Every structure is written in structure tokens, then in C-alpha cells.
Chain A
């Protein structure tokens, strides 16, 4: 089973991520994450299922789902390449504007050196590339002990303390 860093621990993943193609006919039961576009297109059929989460591409807009975001146990945001930073903004919207409190997961090209920033934008779970997941990756959450600006974590802007 795939490993995952969640809340500073390496755990086994209990969710399956489905692509658009895999959702073409039926969406299997069990803990599955479906693309946002699939969710929106099949809203009526899926709205009563509790075993479904969604995953965002960079061009998906949290605004299109709005307050309903809080219903999902897991929301994932895909980073097709680590240099594609749209997911950071998407995460902040999900977390801050829509007050999502469930598991917010970074998937795709996720590496140790992004974890610190991802965490500050509201992610609490990280599907680090399989060849790079180990205890030392968790160390990177402690790269910085002080930050200047407020983001999606609880830390206020530094100037309030000065």
C-alpha cells in the first residue's frame, strides 16, 4: 500500500485516486478521490455518497464548489510539476475561504523541499514521491522556526509580535 506523510507521520494511504478515464463508466465504491470536473459533471449521482473525496487540477476553481467543500473527508490538490505553483493558492482558498477542516493532501510531483511551503498553505498530508519518502523528509517541516507573513497555518504575521 502507498505510503503518505500525514500530520508529521508516515502512514499507509487508504484512499484511491481515480483519473477522469477511470471514472468514465462507474465510480467504484470505497474511499476514492475523483477529479473535480467529474464531481461537477455527476453531482446529482454522487452527492449522497460519503466515501468520495475530490482532487483539483491547477485550472479547477474552488469557487465552483464553494461551501460544499466542507462535506468531503479528503481533498487533494495535484502538482503536475513541482514548479507549477497554482496548487498553493488553491489550497489557501480551500482552507481559509471555505474553512475546510478535513485532510488536505498534496499529490503529484511532491518533494521534500516543497513540504514547508505546502504546510504553510494548509496541507496536512503529502503524497511524497515513492522513492523519496522517509523520516528525513519530515525534518523539513522544521526548516524555519520564524516566518514573516501569515498564511493558512495558525501563525500570525510576525510584525504583530514585534
Chain B
């Protein structure tokens, strides 16, 4: 994991001091609400429905156990004893006091953390595959490149006031995109060129929100050292020509579409020609320096399927179910990737208490070299667990509610905080997730349905990624009442390979909240009646189309 040197620490410390000054001036009335708004937003501080909300950056989802313990301590001291994992691999506090925020930031800085650029119209946290570095099929570990982008984008003086927020994601696995890169403003796909050198395919103009779009490939095989200068050229074209007259048309996707991807790419190339040799051109030495932080931990030489594991799998059905569902193949023999699910019934998706955070830190120290990763599905990954430890880990995780064996299934719902917490939301989202989880509490049935992504957003901003859910649910406001629109057939490419990213189609008129579990059940029934043996929900949908689903759901009651 990356460790700060004196430069990184200085920048974060100076930011704490700067923000403290800004907050003091605001509280003294020297800054207007509007002026302070732009400043606090650059620091992840929203004024929400009930209280300020502070979003803390977790660069590409990586946390060490010291940082997790600090988060536990902070949410106990300054909040109501719980935190929320977001769909952008970050962490949010929902109840801090404005005047406490400088102290929170100062404590975060002591463990190499910050809230820089976690909101506002600037370059946000770069995200990547939560399994990075621990899987065999990646081109190269994407995390050093994410860190390089993080540093370049931190306080970039030219891009602090973009037309709109800007999100970059990096993926390194061919044909499997756990980072949903094609629905980001820029998607960086690590590839090897003909000579085996690392290079990048660059996609631009993807995004969710009001006008969901899949990104277009604008540059194939960008050479390794040219990453930052090329990103700078894209951002400059966007900063100058992106729309600023209408915030719903201000994302880069609208610009790319309006110009056409070809013309946009040509404009970026023209800009890039002027700056490709600038001081921001990477050096091999810098790439090696950052890569040195992401070397393998001290793995032992082990064999796959040790006796402890095979015995436990044979003797314990619940454990074997969890093993099948919530663990994944590791690049090293004798190890597994473990996903702890934060999706227990009765708890809002992604919410964790201070005690649970401490339990996560404890599990990480005991079983996974003291590191965890936050996933964009609002779960937590222990990346390097010995297979011989899995049963002991499972028992402890089970006690904490982290072992619901539904990863990737219908009830592993992605959900934004919604109208319960967020002032932007049109409707509540958490109660819908809970109703669906309660309706589908029979694990055998959930298993029979198989992999199915159900995503819920409380408004058009799409924090719950509803457009790319196989089933997507969007909260809408109809004359002051909360209704829910359903879409089908979205895909972030996680299952079917990265060229398969798709935006869901709207099923039809929206539904009252109370009807949602039944609507979902009808959709599932259409699938189970029509599927062939090997088809997942998304496959059946793609084969039979939307009409059979529509007919069932909107059929008049008999």
C-alpha cells in the first residue's frame, strides 16, 4: 500500500490548515454561504437534509487497519457511531458538526487520510478493481497508476472549477471490469502493446446520471509515460468547451457526444501535441518508485485446498455456501480473496458501526496482512486470506453480520443513502432495499435465481448506479409523492466482460413503494419461467427482450 513521504504529508497538513482558516472565516461571517459552499465542497463537506455530511477519500478503496480503527474512533467521537461505505469506494460520516470538521480532518491526516476533492466540480477519487494485485489475470497491478493519477489530480490548479464533477476509473483485467470503467468520465484500460509494454486504452464520455452513456474509445495504446499529459489534454478540452449553462448537460459525456468521439479525440490530440513533452510527462523512475509500494505481502508457500478447508467444506453447508459465493480465486496457491458483505437485513446497504469497523480492522490484522479494500458494491474485501484460515474467519465474520452469502445475487443490493439522508434525493431508497431483501430471504430461492445485480438510486444523480443494474430502481417524485421507476438490462460489465456495458431500458410507468417487492417478484418469475439451464437473468432478458416482463408486470389484476 502507498505510504506518504514528507511531501505527501506536508500537502495534507497544509490542506487541514487552509480549510481550518476557511471554516473560521465562514463562522466569523467573512465568507458568504455561497463562497464557502464551493470551498467546503472541494473538501467533501455537504450540508445535508439533517446535518453536514463529510465524505472521506479512500484512494482506489485501499485502507490499512490503523486507518479503519481511526474511522471507528472518529465516528464514535464526532458522529453517531456509524459510517457509510459509498459506491465510489469512499467513506461518509452523516452527522458531523461543521465546527468539528477541521479537527476530524486533522485526525485523518495523522493516519495519511483526507477529504480532498471528494465532492465539488473537480477530479474525484480514482477507482479501480477491488481485487487488484491479488488476481492472476490482470495485465499489471492498476493501483500504482491510480496513485500516480491521484497525485497529479490533487490540487491541480487548472481543474478545480470544472463544468461538473469528474471521475476516472482504471481497469486492468481483459474482459472483466469490476471497476465499471465505461460509465466513468474517463476509463483507463491497462493493456500490453505489441512489444509487451504496458500502455492504455483511453475511453471518455461515459457516465450515469440523467443521461446515461457508455464511454467511447478515444485512444488506443497510449504509451505508458504519456498518461498524465494525455489526461491533462482531455481535461483541458473539457474545461474549455464543456457546457456551463445547464448543470444537467455539463458532464464530459455531453461534450463527447455533441462533438462526436472522433472530433473530440482529434481535439484532444491537437492539445496533447503541445504538452506531451511537459514536466508532467512521467518517468520510468517515478513509475518504479510508486510500484515499489504495491509489491506482494509476505505470502507463504502453500498448496491449494488444505485439509482443514476441504473438511470444513464437506461438513458445514453454510460455510461451503459462503465459500462458493463470497470468496474468489487468488493468484497465489493456498490463498483466497474474501468479500465481507455489508448487506445484512435490517441495516442500510454499506452502513457500518464503529464496533464493526474495529472488527474489520481486527480481521484484517489477523488474516490479511492488515489491509482491506472498499468495493463499489459497498462491501469490504480481505484480499489475502490463507485457505486454512477461512473457516475461522467465516465464523467471526458471521457473528458480525459480514458473511451473508449473497455476493453478486439479488439481495446484494447497491443502494445510495436516498431520501433518508440526502437532500438531493427525490425518494427514499433504503426502505425499498430492505423490503426486497425481506421478500427474498429464502437463500435457496436467491441461489436458484443466480447472479443478478439490483441497484437502487433515490434520484437522477444515480449514486446507486441504477442504470447499470440488471434490474435498476430509480426514485422519482410525482406531485410530492415517492414513486419508483424500474429499468431492465443494464450492465456494468462485471459479469459479461467489459465490452458488454449497457444502460438499462425503462420498463414503463413507475410504482408505489409498497408494490416494489411484488414487482420484483414478477420480473424474477418471468425469468425463471423462460430461462434455459445456463442463463442468468441478464442473458434471458437479452434473448427474450423487455416485452414479456412488461406484460407480466402491467397485466391487469384478475
A residues adjacent to B (C-beta < 8 A): 58, 82-86, 88-90, 92, 96-97, 111, 113, 116-121, 143-151, 156-160, 162
Q: Give, as a whole number of angstroms, the nearest-CB distance from A80 to chain B.
A: 10
Q: Supply 10 A–B pairs (Cβ within 8 Å), ascending by A.
A: A85-B159, A92-B158, A117-B155, A117-B157, A143-B18, A146-B7, A147-B11, A149-B151, A150-B280, A159-B289
> Contact partner of A83 among B38, B151, B274, CB < 8 A?
B38
Chain B, residue nearest A97 (CB): B274
Is there contact, CB below 8 Å, between B152 and A149?
yes
A144 vs B18: C-alpha distance in the bound complex, in angstroms? 9
In angstroms, how far is the closest chain A Cβ from the Cβ of B325? 41
Cβ-neighbour of A121 out of B10, B158, B286 (below 8 A)? B158
In the complex, what distance in Å separates the CA atom of A50 from the CA atom of B15?
A: 43
**Do A143 and B14 touch (CB < 8 A)?**
yes
Q: Does A89 contact B239, Cβ atoms closer than 8 Å?
A: yes
Residues of B within 8 A of A150 (CB): 278-280
A88-B161, A162-B7 known; 7 new pairs, CB 8 Å cut-off, are A88-B158, A117-B157, A144-B11, A149-B228, A149-B280, A160-B279, A160-B283
- Per-residue CB contact flags for chain B residues 144-178 toward chain A (1 = under 8 Å, else 0) read 00000001101111111110000000000000000
The answer to whether B11 and A84 touch across the interface, beta carbons within 8 angstroms, is no
Are A89 and B236 in contact, with the CB atoms below 8 A?
Answer: yes
CA distance A39 to B185 in the complex (A): 36
Known contacts being A88-B161, A120-B157, A143-B14, is A148 close to B35, with CB within 8 Å? no
**Cβ-defined contact, B157 with A88, below 8 A:** yes
Task: Please measure, in the bound complex, the distance between the C-alpha atom of A119 and the C-alpha atom of B158, giving whole angstroms.
Answer: 10
Listed from nearest, the 5 A-B pairs whose CB atoms lie closest are A85-B161, A150-B279, A120-B157, A117-B157, A159-B286
- Known contacts A84-B244, A90-B240, A162-B5: does B157 contact A148 (CB below 8 Å)? no
Write the chain B residue with the least CB distance to A150. B279
B461 interface residue, CB < 8 Å from A?
Answer: no
- On whether the beta carbons of A148 and B158 are closer than 8 Å, the reply is no
Residues of B within 8 A of A119 (CB): 157
Chain A residues positioned under 8 Å from B155 (CB to CB): 117, 144, 147-148
Contact of B14 among A58, A97, A145 (CB under 8 A): A145
Nearest Cβ in chain A — how far from B250, in angstroms? 11
Most chain-A CB neighbours within 10 Å: which of B35, B155, B275, B289? B155
Q: With A and B bound together, what is the CA distance between A84 and B239 in angstroms? A: 9
B interface with A by C-beta (< 8 Å): 5, 7, 10-11, 14-15, 18, 22, 35, 38-39, 121, 151-152, 154-162, 228, 236, 239-240, 244, 274-275, 278-280, 282-283, 285-286, 289
Query: Nearest CB to that of B151 among chain A residues?
Result: A148
> Chain B contacts of A144 at CB under 8 A?
11, 14-15, 18, 155
Contact B239 A82 (CB under 8 A): no
- The distance in angstroms between the C-alpha atoms of A98 and B159, with both chains bound, is 20
Q: How far is the CB of A45 from chain B (nearest CB, A)?
A: 29
* Separation of A58 and B121 alpha carbons in the complex (Å): 17
Question: Contact check: which of A111, A117, A156 meets B279 at CB < 8 Å?
Answer: A156
The reply to whether B157 and A121 form a contact with Cβ atoms under 8 Å apart is yes
How far apart are the CA atoms of A143 and B282 in the complex, in Å?
26
Query: Which chain A positions have C-beta within 8 A of B279?
Result: 150, 156-157, 160
**Residues in B whose Cβ lies below 8 Å from that of A84:** 161, 244
Whole-angstrom distance between the Cβ of B51 and the nearest chain A Cβ: 24
Q: Which residues of A contact B240 (CB under 8 A)?
A: 86, 89-90
| In the complex, residue of chain A having the shortest beta-carbon distance to the beta carbon of B158 | A88
A58 and B245 CA atoms in complex are apart in Å by 12
Taken together as a complex, chains A and B put the C-alpha atoms of A147 and B280 apart, in Å, by 12
Checking B38, B39, B159, B274 against A88 with a beta-carbon cut-off of 8 angstroms, the contacting residue is B159
**In the complex, A58→B163 CA distance in Å?**
12
Does B239 lie within 8 Å of A88, measured CB to CB? yes
Instruction: Give the interface centre of B14, B35, B156, B279 by most chain A CB atoms within 10 Å.
Output: B279
A88 proximity list for chain B (CB < 8 A): 157-161, 239
Residue of A at shortest CB range from B152?
A149
Are B22 and A113 in touch, CB under 8 angstroms? yes
Smallest Cβ-Cβ distance to B270: which chain A residue: A63
CB distance from B506 to the nearest CB of A (A): 33
- Which residues of B are found within 8 Å of A96, using beta-carbon distances? 275
* A85 and B289 contact, CB distance less than 8 A: no
- Other-chain contact of A159, B157, B274, B282 (Cβ < 8 Å): B282
Say yes or no: B10 contacts A111, CB within 8 Å: no
Q: With A86-B239, A159-B282 as given contacts, are A151 and B157 in contact (CB-CB < 8 Å)? A: yes
- A147 contacts which chain B residues (CB < 8 A)? 11, 155, 157
Residue numbers in B under 8 Å from A162 (CB-CB): 5, 7, 286, 289
A157: chain B residues at CB < 8 Å are 152, 279-280
Also in contact, A117 and B11, with CB within 8 A (given A83-B38, A89-B240) = no
Instruction: Report the minimal beta-carbon distance from B455 to chain A, rounded to whole angstroms.
Output: 31
Min CB distance B107 to A, Å, is 21
A66 to chain B, nearest CB (A): 13
Q: Compute how far the CA of A58 lies from the CA of B228 in the bound complex, rounded to whole angstroms.
A: 25
A85 touches B152 (CB 8 A): no
Q: Please give, as numbers and ranges, the residues of chain A lying within 8 Å of B286 by CB-CB distance.
A: 159, 162
Nearest Cβ on chain A to B287's Cβ, whole angstroms: 9
Closest to A82 in B: B38
